[in-house]
Structure 1
Amino acid sequence: MFDLIKGSKIRWLIIYIIEIVLVGVYIAANRTLGDEYSFFKSDTFVFILLGLLMILPMYAGFFSVRSFEKAVRKNYITITNTLGADISEAYSFGEMGLIIYNDKREIIWSSNIFTERGIKVLGLTIDQRFPNLKAFFENGDGKQAPETLREKVNQRIYEVMQLAELNVLIFKDISEVDNLYKLRKDEAPVFTMILLDNLLDVANIAADDEYVQIEALIRKTIADWSKEFNVVIKKIKEDSYFGIMSEESYVKIRDGEFKIINDVSKLSSHRDIVFTISLGFGRGIQNFSKLSELAAAAIDVAQSRGGGQVVVNNFGGRMEFFGGAGTEVKMRRNAVRNKVLAQSFFAHVQTYQSIYILVHTEADFDAIGAALGIVAIANAANRPAVIVYDEKQVEVKARMMLKELFSKNELHIYSLSRAKAIERINSPSLVVVVYVNRASITTAPKILEIAKNVAVIDHHRKA
């Protein structure tokens, strides 16, 4: 279409050049030959000639404009016939716009909505004005053009569909729908479970005033974090919290790299014990019960991976992991936990006058070794300790090992029969069960029935 206008300009220029040349020839002839040889005897002919030459460009311009109008009208009629006679009114009501382009992707016509919204399109190419729509025309190598594309113009979002055979683009204003979708997405609920991995272990060894101070610092850190990110938080246990937030808040927390983990860890920078915190998130669904299940499952996975990290459980998708999920973190936490438990158990042993140790029947090297370890701890605490068993309850190889390592006198000091143990046990006594957690298969089930103080140490059970 713009080639037509360009051609008209060239025609006008040629006509003007011809006009100037003819006038120049006439003037030169008059001056050279004189009036008697002049082709025109009167200036009237000159003015008539000039008038005709002036009319020709006007006619050419009129013809070009008419041709342009006919071309546009032809395209518009084709669209109207295709989409219906009431297209203009329907498109105006639906906030839709039409654009017609030529084979060079030059925009040659647009509906009123673009003018009303101050969007200049005429005279520009599709690539210049709407760069996101290039994909409509990049369907070579067997690629199929997309059905719709999105274009943002003057802070409004348009969904665009192409009628390739007609060289037409249809624009639909979806700004309000897009805003509602974004609002619904941003306000979607997200649940979180927060667990202080080793707070209870700290409580077992820290002095009361120190523990109160530590717990208060952690509580304040979590409260400040929840306020910053607009999270509704509720303490459900001494070491765990439950939180509800919007998807928008979750995204901000994620973009901030879950800084709560580092904030809690910093609280132990000047202490021997390392505080760690784990978070489990449930998201991607409106059902509150399901979100709660997702968050609970996420925190379980975080604990199984060593703690000190974040697990995000996406409904219908894969879990995401953030923070220290490696072996190093798990080993560090286990080392801290073991140290805390050892200190707690040692302090516990010191509160009793005597220690009685039970193992499982058919005691093997592992069971006897664990029992001897408790004897060593009791001796370090200056408390007498004995292993309760009868000789027949120990495997042959383990029995031979005991006789090889200890004299009869030493065995008499560190071991005791079931009958004598039942007679001696009293309130200030502590019964320690090692390497087994079922009373029925211990070397002295009767003792567990009468004992008031029992500690179980067994890697087969979850502490």
Structure 2
Amino acid sequence: MDNKKFSGIFVPRASFYLWVIFILAVVITVLDWRVSVPCYLLLAALVYYNFRSNYVRQKEITKYIENLTLNIDTATKDTLLNFPMPLVVIELDGTIIWYNSSFRKIFEGQQLFERTIGSFAEELHPENLISDRTNISKETVINGRHYSVLGNIVKIDEKSSSNEYILLLYLIDNTELVEVRKLYRDERASIGIIIIDNYDDLMQSLEDSNRPQMLAEIEKKVAHWVGFTGGVLKKFERDKYLLIFEHKYLKEFENKKFDILDSVKEINLGNRIPVTLSLGLGINGKTMAENFHFAAASIDIALGRGGDQVVIKDGESFSFFGGKTREMEKRTRVKARVIAYALRELIEQSSGVMIMGHENVDIDVLGAAMGLYRIACGRKKDTNIVLEYSNPTIDAIMTKIQNDGEYENLFIGRAEALNKVNTRTLLIIVDTHRAAFTECPQLLNYTDQIVVIDHHRKGADFIQDAVLTYQETYASSTCEMVTEILQYVEENPGLRPLEVEALYAGIVIDTKNFTFKTGVRTFEAASYLRRQGVDTFTVKQLFQNDLKTYTSISNVVRDAEIINDRIALSVCASNVKSAQLIAAQAADQLLSLSGIAAAFVLSTAGATVFISGRSFGDINVQVILEKLGGGGHFTVAGTQIEGISVEEAKEKLKYAIINYIDSLSGSEKQ
């Protein structure tokens, strides 16, 4: 770099030489002025020549630049006029001021000049194109053809101080690309797995001679349902079918609400229970194998939600259809026995056991946890129940447990649990299958041994890495499921009175005194607990309300709003103590009113709004509250919404209810 600076000194320059001559002339003048006269004449001639040469050279350069600019302007104009793609120049208000022949062909026969481009294509109006950007990029459809719109904002005169701009828009016709993309998407293979729900119970309800005919009728209806797709339907097990069809037919299935679910219910060959199907679909996977895995995951969720429905897995998202009938109770206890043996082995192999339910623990969680605590103690394992704090729902029984010296150090908080857990700790999740809903979600990250025992209908965000999952939607409560497990773990589990009371209380509360979701096995579980010495009167006393609580419940019932003549909606006042408990009991009370088929009660705790939903089963409160991030059963469901007011939550709930009612009306019309 320095060498270049110094070398520049020695580059010949005319002005440099003229100054040298001038200095020499001055020196000569000092010596002899007569001799200097010719020098000054020569210097004057050289100066004149230098200025003349510079003038001519500058003129030639200017002429060259002007010619070059003219050539560029001519080329630019020619390019704009003969540009192969549609090109239009518009003002910022959308007025068309110039366009080429390709653009005119798009709107053949229409007057374009001095009209706004929005009158021809609303999406091309500057308001819809400009969003704090100088470069414009947008997709649009004009006269049935697809265009990519590119452009930029140009200032009319860069030298002018005025802020006048125009827009140059280029339209690239990519209709063929869009059609090819659509064809590719439509022709991709979608894979489904169809299962006959309760196949064994269905066959047992038929005469031997009617069983082959029943299967033939089911296959006939399913084959007719998928026939228009030209897809493949293949039976690969006695009660399972594999379905492969092109993706473009999925929309028609959805528009018809997967009417095969209702169609198979019409089959009547003397069967005492209706025929129901579950269908799991996998779509938009990278490969057919991935779609098959999606379908398998979908069918697991469909069965976990009680069957008689369709679940579609598209990447990480799920869609649900159907699920309008209640779960059919499974009379066999084979699965309960298998789970009991597997659970016993997992407990014996663990370094310790932690039991955790959902946040805001209820009596079903506590009862199930107490039953599992007794199983783990029977295997001589250090066992804890993760519980950060009590709440009015369980305060009465928690007081009895804490006053009993047998259960000292049984309950631990979240921080202590995180310090104590290790990879060999067996973590048992009860009464929920969603990691985010648990008492301490972080615990799931610190152990590889996770067991899930739950009776709720399966949601999309279930715990996927559990080593053992026992999820039965037909069960009335988690306490019922744990009671069955207790009977198979060992002949005499040694249940203490408080543990029996907690298990029985969980069943009583979740069944509303054996009126909701109560099956044969519910009574059998209650009978077993009665044989273990449960005092039913003592359990009843645990849930007696005082006068103030009863008055609060009555106020909620009094202020209820009726929607669609069948659904009650009310709000529990924020200043009421134990608002969540009162909301749940008020929802139960609202169902006792004549003509009410479902009830929802909202309550608040801090910045969280809680919603309790109850029904007799005609209205699926689970589907309604799933739209608000909750879940549960046909008859009992709940949700919680963060960061909004109770009025906003009420409006969201009303919208979900109306959508549900509209979907029922739509399916009835079809």
Give SS of 2:86's match. Answer: strand
Give SS of 2:258's match. Answer: coil
Which residue pairs with 1:132 in the alignment?
Answer: 123
**Higher helix proportion (structure 1 or 2):** 1
Q: Give the aligned residue type for 1:338.
A: R
1:171–1:204 distance in 2 versus 1, CA, 3 Å? same
Q: Give the aligned residue type for 2:184.
A: R
Which residue pairs with 1:321 in the alignment?
Answer: 320
Cα contact 2:206–2:269 (8 A) shared by 1: no
Cα contact 2:194–2:240 (8 A) shared by 1: yes
Matched residues in 2 for 1:91 and 1:245: separation? 45
Residue 361 of structure 1: how far off its partner (Å): 5.3
1:148–1:205 distance in 2 versus 1, CA, 3 Å? same
Which residue pairs with 1:10 in the alignment?
Answer: none
Matched residues in 2 for 1:248 and 1:400: separation? 61
Q: Give the aligned residue type for 1:363.
A: N
Which aligned pairs between 1:374-453 and structure 2 lie closer than 5 A?
none
Which residue pairs with 1:187 in the alignment?
Answer: 187
1:306 and 2:303 are equivalent in the alignment: no
1:192–1:113 distance in 2 versus 1, CA, 3 Å? same
**Which one scores higher on RCO, CA 8 angstroms, separation ≥ 6?**
1
Which residue pairs with 1:285 in the alignment?
Answer: 285
1:175-221 per-residue CA deviation (whole Å, 9 max, x = no partner) reads 11111111111112111000011223222342221112211111100
1:145–1:276 distance in 2 versus 1, CA, 3 Å? farther
TM value normalised by structure 2: 0.36
Matched residues in 2 for 1:263 and 1:116: separation? 52
Q: Give the aligned residue type for 2:127.
A: F
How many residue pairs match? The answer is: 266
Give SS of 2:94's match. Answer: coil
1:222–1:274 distance in 2 versus 1, CA, 3 Å? same
Which aligned pairs between 1:138-149 and structure 2 lie closer than 5 A?
147-149=136-138
1:363 and 2:484 are equivalent in the alignment: no
Q: Give the aligned residue type for 1:178.
A: V
Cα contact 2:81–2:100 (8 A) shared by 1: no
1:6-51 per-residue CA deviation (whole Å, 9 max, x = no partner) reads xxxxxxxxxxxxxxxxxxxxxxxxxxxxxxxxxxxxxxxxxxxxxx
Cα contact 2:146–2:175 (8 A) shared by 1: yes
Which residue pairs with 1:248 in the alignment?
Answer: 248
Cα contact 1:138–1:145 (8 A) shared by 2: no
Cα contact 1:364–1:398 (8 A) shared by 2: no
Residue 318 of structure 1: how far off its partner (Å): 1.5
Residue 286 of structure 1: how far off its partner (Å): 3.3
Give SS of 1:306's match. Answer: coil
1:201–1:398 distance in 2 versus 1, CA, 3 Å? closer
Cα contact 2:229–2:246 (8 A) shared by 1: no
Give SS of 1:157's match. Answer: strand
Residue 252 of structure 1: how far off its partner (Å): 1.5
Matched residues in 2 for 1:83 and 1:338: separation? 86
Residue 162 of structure 1: how far off its partner (Å): 2.8
Give SS of 1:202's match. Answer: helix
Which residue pairs with 2:140 in the alignment?
Answer: 151
Give SS of 1:147's match. Answer: strand
Give SS of 1:100's match. Answer: strand
Give SS of 1:313's match. Answer: strand
Residue 321 of structure 1: how far off its partner (Å): 1.4
Cα contact 1:139–1:145 (8 A) shared by 2: no
Which residue pairs with 1:338 in the alignment?
Answer: 331
Which residue pairs with 1:431 in the alignment?
Answer: none
Matched residues in 2 for 1:304 and 1:255: separation? 24
Matched residues in 2 for 1:277 and 1:117: separation? 52
Cα contact 2:81–2:101 (8 A) shared by 1: no
Matched residues in 1 for 2:269 and 2:100: separation? 67
Which residue pairs with 1:106 in the alignment?
Answer: 95
Matched residues in 1 for 2:140 and 2:488: separation? 75
Cα contact 1:106–1:124 (8 A) shared by 2: yes
TM value normalised by structure 1: 0.51
1:116–1:129 distance in 2 versus 1, CA, 3 Å? closer
Matched residues in 1 for 2:138 and 2:198: separation? 52
Matched residues in 2 for 1:304 and 1:272: separation? 23
1:283–1:137 distance in 2 versus 1, CA, 3 Å? same
Residue 306 of structure 1: how far off its partner (Å): 0.7
Which aligned pairs between 1:168-317 and structure 2 lie closer than 5 A?
168-268=168-268, 271-315=271-315, 317=316
The higher radius of gyration belongs to: 1
1:399–1:197 distance in 2 versus 1, CA, 3 Å? closer
Which residue pairs with 1:122 in the alignment?
Answer: 113
Matched residues in 2 for 1:150 and 1:318: separation? 26
Give SS of 2:273's match. Answer: coil
1:83–1:307 distance in 2 versus 1, CA, 3 Å? farther
Q: Give the aligned residue type for 2:331.
A: N
Give SS of 1:222's match. Answer: helix
Matched residues in 2 for 1:105 and 1:171: separation? 16
Matched residues in 1 for 2:270 and 2:333: separation? 16
Q: Is 247-256 or 154-163 further displaced after alignment?
A: 154-163
Q: Give the aligned residue type for 1:152.
A: V
- Identity across aligned pairs (percent)? 24
Residue 154 of structure 1: how far off its partner (Å): 2.6
